[in-house]
Chains A and B, each alone.
Chain A
Amino acid sequence: MKSAPLPGVRSLRLALGAVRERTGATGAELYVKAGNTRRIEIDPWMTPVTADPDDLQAQVSVLDERGWALRAGGASRALFLADSGPLPEPNGWRRLNRHSLRPGSLRLPAARSGTAPSPAADTGEHSPDDEEAAGLAFLHDLLRRLGERMPEARLVRGRLDSGASAAVLASTTGVTARSGRRLATVELDFAASRDGRHGHCRLYRAASNLHLLGADAIASEIAERLTLATAPAPPFLPAGEVAVSPALGCNLLALLTPLLRGRDGWRRLRKLGAGRPLGPPQLQIVDDGGLDAGWMRAAFDDEGVPTRAVALVRDGEPGEPLLSWEDDGWSGFAAAGCRRRSGWRALPELCHSHLYIAGTSESAESIRSGIVHGCYLLDRVHDGRCHATFEASTNGGPGRLEEGRFEVDAIGLVIRRGEVLGQAPRVRLTGSLRQLLQGVRAIGDDLRFLPAPGAVGAPTLLLTGLQVEAVG
């Protein structure tokens, strides 16, 4: 089935004119999005990885999504309306009238230089017909490779999504933008039992293309994690250095996102430093909506504001806050395109796109082998704790965690002078948020992105001053 193409900007402007005429709104904006997804789900039936791939209960879905959202109003009255299907014709807005606007307000970004229509392609129907076969081949390949490494592993659940979307936006302030995106994600749950010990792991990976997901690398990661998850607990855990893999580094950075966006985040970040540097001089934390080769890459955000790289932490000091156009000029800082919609039904919200700790030239291997006596933590335990608190919570806060602290349950290795002394199936890494940043001693060269939501990236990190304790 060939979907209808996205409407042109001219059609959107005609629709906006009709909306303004009927409602009396001083401003209006239309956002139209279309996409298609091929989804392969493996039913939960604890399939052994060595089983015949044809025995997998693969459920296939071919999904076409299309919808639009209208924002209309002014200083005192406003409306948000979203609907599925194609955009109505200009005479299809008859249901709207002056009473459709309710108390509320609407502000829209003004057109700036550089907000000309983006040449991004309409990728809504670019999925090849063999995407489904490629997806199944990927899963079969992954299971085969994992079976070679760890035959006792069992697939609990799997989901592979591969698709493309395109969007077009126009407003009465003159903003227009087009964007397109391709994305493939895989979410896998595996379990294994060894010597009476049970363990499981969950992986969620994304790439801009199904062929970039890499079955061999993912199979290797799963085998590594299942081996650790089913290992006996170590007799002791050394205090001192902790190296964290890019996967766990991404989770730690994701915990810090409330510090790294908006005016409130900026205030908290400044307070965290308390007059001292936030981290070592080599620490750079960046958010970049237009990152080359990033799977969220877009020239404009979902309100048509140009994206750019924002150095949130520069040389270990607070750099600039991530501000939306509404806060442009706040404390002398410039805004960036950073308001995104989770779908056509959603309003744009301030969020990161590619948030990452920039890598350095130090090799990750030298960081791991340089651990004198400590732990190398590979990944979080998916059913364990992973949270941080930023303000005192009276009720509704996570557990007993004090203000400005974090805790993450992880799997890893105990290392002494580069040699693995033992495996740690479940440890709890805790500490203050301040120490998490100020305790960074080395940053590797193996920057890697994970879906968080958005994309969060980190290289291997060497951390000091944090607590590690065995759990369970």
Chain B
Amino acid sequence: MTSTANRAGPRPLLTSDVAVPADALSRLAAHGNQQFEAFFERLETVELLPRGASNRLRLRKEQGLGVRKIENGRSRLAAADTISGPAFAACCDRVAGTSRSIGAAPPRIRTGSWPALRLAEIEQAESRLTRAVNRRRVGFPMEITARRHRRQVQVVRSPIAAPPQFEEYFSLQVTTPWGVWGGLLPSLADEDLDPVAHCLVDRLCSRGLPPHGHAPGVIVLGPNAAAVLLHEVVAHALEADTLGLSGAPDHVVGLKLGGRELDVIDDPRAAPLACKRSSDDEGTAVISRWLLRRGRVRQPLADLAWAERCPGMIPGAARRASRHRLPGPRTTHLELLPGTIPETDLFAEAAGGLYIGEFDRGNLDPLDGRCVLRAPCGRRIGASGPVDHTGPIEIRSRAVDLLAAVTAVADRPLAGGAGWCAKDGAPMPVWARCPSIRLEGLQVAD
């Protein structure tokens, strides 16, 4: 079956001329230090709960706008839950601090129709996932909640308007008698549901096993787990606001964080098909950003405000959870470039160690740099690769120690490790593409 996400986006969010609000914003600036930006947003979430749940189908739609003034690194934001000329004018008045700041008559702003609802793919998710599990010759009770998320964004920053952005992706929550699996998927096609079935069967095999206690000498992380590790210890650690907690963010450029095999990129343009971005949530064009180049820091993630404070930084990584939140520097799509070692060789030198296919939780303390990663299960590595299943594993280590422990990167990258990043309580979807990696000399804590 082909991917259901590969289809043309809907009509642009704004059907009226975007030059009109751009022109209105240009009239607001009292002097050259002031920048004004309008953020138009439309969100739709369709949720289908397991059979038997009350209000099984839940449809949430919302749209609104936010107008922001940036002056000397300080922001002033006014947001409303509707898209219209009067709401735009009122928000402009609030950030400018005067009435009729853009003239006597509000501009004409119109929105396009909502995309078609298309419920069939969500309704089929349960049966498709059940079939994917059954293909592995197992079966167990599952309660599946499937959601489709759509987001349309239009940013207008005087005097130009960025291209409209559209994202569509899916999230699944699968409840089994031995725990809950949750994650993001670019589509509900078989090729995306198959890895989910693999994770569920791994958890089935490791149910009831005690937590893994002793520290193995070698750990091999599969692509999903490697993506979560890099998300925490590279992407989060190199977000300008995180770096700002311990000093000037641009001072880390050139710092050696890992071995020469670590080449890490953040590139929103390379995200899964329906989630690609050409501009960020401030309307700045996104770039393929080298976070680590041969283990050294090249370019931290920055938005406009941090780029203004630290001139060496490049904006283009701003994301906002909603029109009611200010943007901040965040990762979107993380890539670890492949190494030269075949995956079989990665395991051959790791016999007696531990294979971790996925982490279900990760956390980085931005003040002391300590990282906690939790895997619901793992597998002992035998002579031929991963063999016996083990119980939950928790890795506690300093971020720099985790990166220093990476000794090999496999040659076959896979999309995986997508999930919700909940930094500062603002959940955002993040994507990744990584090969397996091998770590040596780490401690596994209780």
Contact = CB atoms under 8 A, between A and B. Distances in A.
B30 interface: no
Interface in B195-219: 203, 206-211
B61 A82 contact: yes
B81 A347 contact: no
Given A59-B76, A61-B78, A399-B446, A80 B53 contact: no
B246 interface: yes
B94 interface: yes
Interface stretch (B138-146, B254-262, B269-277, B360-368): B360-368
Contacts of B180: 396
A437 B218 CA distance: 44
Contact of B58 (A66, A103, A347): A347
A105 interface: yes
Contact of A61 (B61, B93, B324): B324
B78 A73 contact: no
Interface in A30-87: 37, 41, 43-46, 57-67, 71, 73, 78-86
A60 B81 contact: no
Given A57-B73, A84-B63, A394-B179, 14 more contacts: A59-B75, A59-B76, A63-B77, A79-B55, A81-B60, A83-B60, A84-B82, A85-B81, A102-B57, A106-B55, A347-B58, A394-B209, A399-B211, A399-B394
Interface string B59-78: 11111100000000111111
A191 B244 CA distance: 13
A67 B169 CA distance: 24
22 contacts: A37-B324, A46-B244, A60-B76, A61-B79, A62-B77, A62-B78, A62-B94, A63-B77, A66-B80, A78-B55, A82-B62, A84-B63, A84-B81, A104-B49, A105-B56, A106-B55, A156-B367, A198-B368, A395-B377, A396-B178, A396-B180, A396-B392
B246 A347 contact: no
Closest 8 CB pairs of A and B: A396-B179, A104-B56, A1-B90, A84-B62, A395-B179, A84-B81, A61-B77, A102-B57
B241 interface: yes
Contacts of B55: 71, 73, 78-80, 104-106, 347
Interface string A93-121: 00000000011111100000000000000
Contacts of B49: 104
B50 to A, nearest CB: 10
A270 interface: no
A290 B180 CA distance: 35
A130 interface: no
A292 interface: no
A400 interface: yes
A383 interface: yes
B57 A191 contact: no
B395 interface: no
A364 to B, nearest CB: 32
A141 to B, nearest CB: 20
B324 A63 contact: yes
A345 interface: yes
A172 B402 CA distance: 59
B253 to A, nearest CB: 18
A61 B54 contact: no
- Describe A's contact surface by its main secondary structure: strand
A395 B79 contact: no
B326 interface: yes
Given A347-B55, A394-B179, A395-B392, A200 B367 contact: yes
Nearest to B424: A157
A44 B73 CA distance: 12
A143 to B, nearest CB: 17
Interface string A342-378: 0001010000000000000000000000000000000
B244 A43 contact: yes
A65 B326 contact: no
- Give the interface centre of B51, B60, B61, B244 by most chain A CB atoms within 10 Å: B60
B422 interface: no
A103 B77 contact: no
Interface of B: 49, 51, 53-64, 73-82, 90-91, 93-94, 119, 178-180, 203, 206-211, 241-242, 244-247, 305, 324-326, 360, 365, 367-368, 376-377, 391-392, 394, 446
A412 to B, nearest CB: 21
Contact of A104 (B57, B90, B179, B360): B57
A405 to B, nearest CB: 14
Contact of A396 (B75, B82, B360): B360
Contacts of B73: 43, 57
B153 to A, nearest CB: 15
A104 B55 CA distance: 6
Nearest to B86: A1
Nearest to A189: B367
B208 A79 contact: no
A186 B371 CA distance: 27
A439 to B, nearest CB: 25
Contacts of A37: 324
B443 to A, nearest CB: 14
Contacts of A84: 61-64, 81-82
A95 to B, nearest CB: 9
A333 B49 CA distance: 30
Contacts of B90: 1
B394 to A, nearest CB: 7
Contacts of B91: 1
Contact of B207 (A1, A78, A105, A395): A395
Contacts of A103: 51, 56
- Give the interface centre of B81, B94, B210, B244 by most chain A CB atoms within 10 Å: B81
A394 B207 contact: yes
Given A60-B75, A60-B76, A191 B367 contact: yes
B129 to A, nearest CB: 18
A396 B359 CA distance: 11
Contact of B57 (A80, A200, A393): A80
Contacts of A393: 179
Contacts of B360: 396
B80 A64 contact: yes
A78 B81 contact: no
B446 A400 contact: yes
B261 to A, nearest CB: 31
A400 B213 CA distance: 10
Contact of B246 (A46, A86, A106, A399): A46
Interface in A188-245: 191, 198, 200
A85 B74 CA distance: 29
Interface string A156-173: 100000000000000000
Nearest to A70: B59
B282 to A, nearest CB: 14
Given A1-B94, A63-B79, A395-B376, A107 B54 contact: yes
